Amino acid sequence: MAQQEMKAANETYAGFLNLLKVGSVITAVVTIFVVLLLAS
């Protein structure tokens, strides 16, 4: 029982980390775009 819960928790955490990585990259790209837009 506890093993199954741990597996589910690890999958959820891995998904969260992937979402965090993708979100960070998108945020960085948008930030650079806005800075370049304002600088011109």
Q: Which range of residues forms the domain containing residue 7?
A: 1-40
Count of the separate structural domains present in the chain: 1
Q: What is the pLDDT of residue 2?
A: 84
| 15 membership: H or E segment, kind and range | helix 2-39
First to last CA, the chain: 59
SS3 40: coil
Q: What is the pLDDT of residue 22?
A: 98
Q: Which residue has the tokens 């790209």?
A: 29
Instruction: Dump pLDDT digits (tens) for 1-40.
Output: 788 899 999 999 999 999 999 999 999 999 999 999 999 8
